[in-house]
Structure 1
Amino acid sequence: MYDMNNLKKLGTLGKNAEKAMKAFQALDLVALENGVIPKKYKELIAVAVALTTQCPYCLEIHKEQAVKVGATQEELAETTFVAAALRAGAAVVHGSHLMEK
């Protein structure tokens, strides 16, 4: 199901929901452009989010972009463990809902 070739179908998706696709593309460009938070950090954030949502498309795209703007293998590795800690932490704190007192 997850095949990078599926991204070629985004044009069809956009034709079928043109206004929404244009709005999404504008948001995506603005959210990830260089700003107060440098683009490299935004791409590392995107990688961390992609790891937590487990989106293979986002992982591929944002890893490539992160490397393109200077992210190192060490930064990608640390980003992986930040994402892992947050996922694990979420399970732990949600476990508190299981406790009676």
Structure 2
Amino acid sequence: MVSYHEHTDHQYAKHIRAGAPDAFKAFMAWDAQVLRGSNNVIPRKYTELMAVAVALTTQCAYCIEAHTKAAHSEGATQQELAETVMTAAALRAGGGYAHGFMAMKFFDQAEQNDAQ
């Protein structure tokens, strides 16, 4: 069985680059500026830990790998990574809880419609 996420999948970026060269170039330049820009105020270690947190919440396996390794290279500790993981998990769970407010609202609306 073929896995959806394979370590070598990045080789297919060439197809995106060939199919949308201007957008690809702009994206790569923007990505590099955001993550490694020379005028960035936030230290790179923290940028990478934030990227890990976002990758965990968006569940991008490739981003999790790349940014975890980059955070390690920038001096992040295992404890910092663990705290990042738990922060992302708490926010993800908080999002589910907060969206539960909408579910309750829609349920109340359905109840009110049934009563009419």
- Same fold by TM-score greater than 0.5: yes
5+ residue gaps, structure 1: none
Is 1:52 aligned to 2:49, yes or no?
no
Q: CA RMSD in A?
A: 1.4
**Within 5 Å, which residues of 2 pair with 1:86-101?**
86-99=91-104, 100=108
TM-score (normalised: structure 2): 0.82
TM-score scaled by structure 1? 0.94
Residues 65-74 or 33-42, more deviating: 33-42
Task: State the secondary structure of the residue aligned to 2:5.
Answer: coil
Greater C-alpha Rg: 2
Structure 2 portions without partners, runs of 5+ = 109-116
Q: Which has the higher contact order (CA 8 A, sep 6+)?
A: 1
Count of matched residue pairs: 101
- Cα shift at 1:94: 1.0
Partner of 2:13: 10
Percent of pairs with identical residues:
49
Following TM superposition, where does structure 1 have runs of at least 4 consecutive aligned residues deviating by more than 6 angstroms? none
